[in-house]
C-alpha cells in the first residue's frame, strides 16, 4: 500500500536521542534553545518560541492576543467571537474554545480550499475578537488580500482584529518570497510526527513584535522568566502562563531532521508538479487553484472528484491509499450552536480527497498513481 503520510526520520536521530537521554537533561534546555534559534534563522524571523505541539502554540497565541484574565476587567466583553474555518483539523479550532471564546464559521473558497476572504470580510463585526486562518496543505492564503480586508475593517469598526495563522502543514511555504511567519501576524508551525519536519511532537509560535515575543517566552512556562533565580523564592510572575515548552528529546529529533527537510520538500513539490501536468483533463477530476505568487509545501495532493467513494475504492484496490484527513469541523456536536449555512464548503466537502505525493514515492509508484487515476473509477 502506498501511504498518504510517512514519518521522515534522519538516520542519526536514534543515536542523537540516546545522547540526550544519557546527558541527564531531558526537558527544556540547550537543545530546545538551539532548535528554536535555528528555526528562527531559517524563517528569517528570530521572534520564535518552541512549544510542545501546535495545538498548545495556537492556544498560547490566542491567549497572548485576546485571552481573558479573571482578575482583570475585560475592556471589550462584547468581542466574544473568533472567525475561523471549519475546513481544517480540529487542532485549529478547539484552542478557541479553550480560551473561552465562541467560534463563528467562515465559508471555504472552493477554488483554493482556504478560508473565503470575501466571506470573512462580510462576517467581521463589533463582536469579532480575533481571526484564525489556515494555510491548508501548506498552500499559502492570499495574505495581501487579507491585509486589505483588515484595513477596511479597521476603517469601518475602529479596531483591527488580530490574526493567527495556522502553519501546521506549511513548513517551507512562502508567500511573495517570504516564509510564512513574516507577514505581520502570529503564526504557528507543527512538528507533529507526520508533518514534513518532525520533532516527534512539537510546535513553534512565531511572533510579529518584541513585546509579544517576550510574553510568549514567559507564558509558555508558567509566566516565569527562566533567567530568574528561583532557589531563594525571589522571583515574580507578572503574567500567569502554561506549561508548554518543547523538551530536549523532541528538539534533538527536530535538529536531526532539519538536515533532511529541504530535500524532502523539493521532492514533494517535484511530484506535485508531475501530477499537475499528468492529471490534466481527467474526466470527473478537478485541481485546486494555485496562483504563482506563493510556494506551497504539498503536504498532501488535493483533488476534487466526482463519486469520491468510488474514487477512493478504486485507488485502494490498486494499492494506493487516499485520505480525507479531517471531517468538516462545523458538523461536530460540540459546536452545534455555531452552525451556519456555508455554501462554498458544501460545494466541495464531499468531493475533496488527498493523494500521496510525498518524498517516499518512487518513480514507478508515481506513474502507477497517474495511470490508475487516468484509467477512471
Ligand atoms: C497537525 C495540525 C495541527 C495540530 O498540530 P499538533 O502539533 O499535533 O498540535 C493543527 N492544525 C493543523 C491544520 C494541522 O494539520
What mean pLDDT is predicted for residues 161-189?
98
Name all residues whose Cβ lies below 6 A of ligand 1.
53-55, 88-89, 91-92, 134, 166, 168-169, 190, 192, 203
Which of 315, 294, 303, 293 is closest to 272 using CA atoms?
A: 303
What mean pLDDT is predicted for residues 281-292?
96
Give CA–CA dist 132/369, Å, rounded: 35
> Can you read off the three cell numbers belonging to residue 15?
543515536
Q: What percent of the chain shows pLDDT beyond 90?
A: 94
CB 103 within 8 A of CB 81: yes
**Which pLDDT score is estimated for 72?**
87
Q: What is the helix (H) or strand (E) element at residue 42, kind and residue range?
A: helix 30-43
**Which pLDDT score is estimated for 143?**
98
Per-residue HEC secondary structure of 119-136 comes to: HHHHHCCCCEEEEEEECH
Q: What percent of the chain shows pLDDT beyond 70?
A: 100
Q: What is the helix (H) or strand (E) element at residue 303, kind and residue range?
A: strand 301-305
Distance 196 CA to ligand 1 centre (A): 12
**Which pLDDT score is estimated for 227?**
82
Which of 125, 121, 115 is closest to 159 using CA atoms?
A: 125
Q: Indicate which atom in ligand 1 lies nearest the CA of residue 202.
A: 7
**Which pLDDT score is estimated for 345?**
98
Distance 284 CA to ligand 1 centre (A): 30
Question: What is the chain's length?
Answer: 377
What are residue 105's DSSP bridge partners?
84
Name residue, grid cell 483591527.
160
> Can you read off the three cell numbers belonging to residue 51?
512549544
Helix, strand or coil, per DSSP, at residue 245: strand
What mean pLDDT is predicted for residues 325-337?
96
The per-residue pLDDT for range 184-201, each reduced to its tens digit, is: 999 999 999 999 999 999
> Can you read off the three cell numbers belonging to residue 350?
464531499
Distance 199 CA to ligand 1 centre (A): 13
Question: Can you list the positions of beta strands (E) in 3-125?
Answer: 48-51, 81-84, 102-105
- Please check the confidence at residue 272 and state whether its pLDDT lies above 80: yes
Q: Indicate which atom in ligand 1 lies nearest the CA of residue 325.
A: 15
195-209, 227-241, 247-261, 291-305: segment of lowest average pLDDT: 227-241
- For the chain, what are the domain ranges? 13-258, 261-374
Name residue, grid cell 520533532.
199
The per-residue pLDDT for range 218-243, each reduced to its tens digit, is: 999 999 988 887 888 889 999 999 99
What mean pLDDT is predicted for residues 44-50?
98
Question: Can you list the positions of beta strands (E) in 199-257?
Answer: 203-206
CB 66 within 8 A of CB 83: no
The per-residue pLDDT for range 12-38, each reduced to its tens digit, is: 999 999 999 999 999 989 999 999 999
**Which pLDDT score is estimated for 231?**
82
Which of 123, 32, 363 is closest to 131 using CA atoms?
A: 123
Which of 213, 202, 295 is closest to 255 using CA atoms?
A: 202
Do the strands 203-206 and 48-51 form a parallel or antiparallel pair, or are they unpaired? antiparallel
Strand order, beta sheet including 81-84? 48-51, 203-206, 186-190, 163-166, 128-134, 81-84, 102-105
What mean pLDDT is predicted for residues 62-81?
92
Q: What is the CA radius of gyration of the chain?
A: 21
**Which pLDDT score is estimated for 60?**
98
Find all residues with CB under 8 Å of 39, minimum gap 6, and list them: 48, 50, 189, 204, 254, 258
CA angle 105, 47, 229 (to 5 degrees): 115
Hey, whose CA ends up nearest to atom 3 of ligand 1? 91
**Which pLDDT score is estimated for 225?**
87
Q: Indicate which atom in ligand 1 lies nearest the CA of residue 53.
A: 7
> Can you read off the three cell numbers belonging to residue 377?
473509477
Distance 346 CA to ligand 1 centre (A): 23
CB 164 within 8 A of CB 65: yes
Distance 277 CA to ligand 1 centre (A): 30
What mean pLDDT is predicted for residues 245-251?
98
**Which pLDDT score is estimated for 234?**
84
- Please check the confidence at residue 129 and state whether its pLDDT lies above 80: yes
Q: Indicate which atom in ligand 1 lies nearest the CA of residue 194.
A: 1
Fold entry, domain 13-258:
3.40.640
Find all residues with CB under 8 Å of 330, minimum gap 6, and list them: 86, 105, 338, 339, 340, 342, 345
**Which pLDDT score is estimated for 54?**
98
Distance 202 CA to ligand 1 centre (A): 10
- CATH class of the structural domain 261-374: alpha beta
Give CA–CA dist 205/361, Å, rounded: 31
Amino acid at each position: 500500500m502506498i501511504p498518504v503520510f510517512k514519518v521522515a526520520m534522519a538516520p542519526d536521530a536514534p543515536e542523537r536521542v540516546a545522547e540526550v537521554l544519557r546527558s541527564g537533561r531531558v526537558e527544556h534546555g540547550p537543545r530546545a534553545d538551539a532548535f528554536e534559534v535555528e528555526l528562527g534563522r531559517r524563517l528569517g524571523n528570530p521572534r520564535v518560541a518552541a512549544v510542545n505541539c501546535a495545538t498548545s502554540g495556537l492556544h498560547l497565541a490566542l491567549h497572548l492576543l485576546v485571552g481573558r484574565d479573571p482578575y482583570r476587567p475585560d475592556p471589550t466583553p462584547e468581542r466574544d467571537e473568533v472567525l475561523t474555518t471549519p475546513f481544517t483539523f480540529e487542532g485549529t479550532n478547539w484552542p478557541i474554545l479553550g480560551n473561552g471564546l465562541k467560534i463563528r464559521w467562515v465559508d471555504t473558497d472552493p477554488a483554493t480550499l482556504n478560508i473565503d476572504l470575501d466571506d470573512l470580510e462580510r462576517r467581521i463585526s463589533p463582536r469579532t475578537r480575533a481571526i484564525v486562518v489556515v494555510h491548508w496543505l501548506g498552500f499559502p492564503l492570499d495574505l495581501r488580500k487579507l491585509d486589505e480586508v483588515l484595513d477596511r475593517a479597521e476603517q469601518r469598526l475602529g479596531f483591527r482584529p488580530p490574526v493567527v495563522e495556522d502553519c501546521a502543514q506549511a513548513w517551507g511555504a512562502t508567500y511573495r518570497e517570504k516564509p510564512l511567519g513574516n507577514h505581520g501576524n502570529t503564526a504557528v508551525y507543527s512538528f507533529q510526527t507526520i508533518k514534513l519536519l518532525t520533532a516527534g511532537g512539537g510546535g513553534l509560535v512565531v511572533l510579529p513584535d518584541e513585546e509579544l515575543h517576550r510574553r510568549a517566552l514567559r507564558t509558555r512556562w508558567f509566566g516565569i522568566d527562566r533567567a530568574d533565580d528561583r532557589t531563594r523564592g525571589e522571583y515574580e510572575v507578572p503574567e500567569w502562563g502554561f506549561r508548554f515548552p518543547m523538551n530536549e528529546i523532541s528538539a534533538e529529533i527536530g535538529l536531526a531532521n532539519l538536515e533532511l527537510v529541504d530535500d524532502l520538500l523539493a521532492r514533494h513539490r517535484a511530484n506535485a508538479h508531475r501530477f499537475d501536468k499528468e492529471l490534466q483533463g481527467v474526466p470527473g477530476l478537478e485541481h485546486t487553484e494555485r496562483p504563482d505568487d506563493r510556494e506551497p509545501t504539498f503536504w498532501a495532493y488535493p483533488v476534487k472528484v466526482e463519486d469520491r467513494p468510488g474514487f477512493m475504492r478504486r485507488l485502494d484496490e490498486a494499492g494506493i491509499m487516499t485520505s480525507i484527513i479531517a471531517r468538516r469541523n462545523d458538523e461536530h456536536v460540540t459546536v452545534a450552536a455555531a452552525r451556519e449555512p456555508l455554501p462554498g464548503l458544501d460545494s466541495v466537502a464531499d468531493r475533496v480527497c488527498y493523494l500521496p505525493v510525498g518524498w517516499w514515492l518512487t518513480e514507478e509508484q508515481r506513474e502507477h498513481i497517474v495511470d490508475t487515476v487516468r484509467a477512471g473509477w
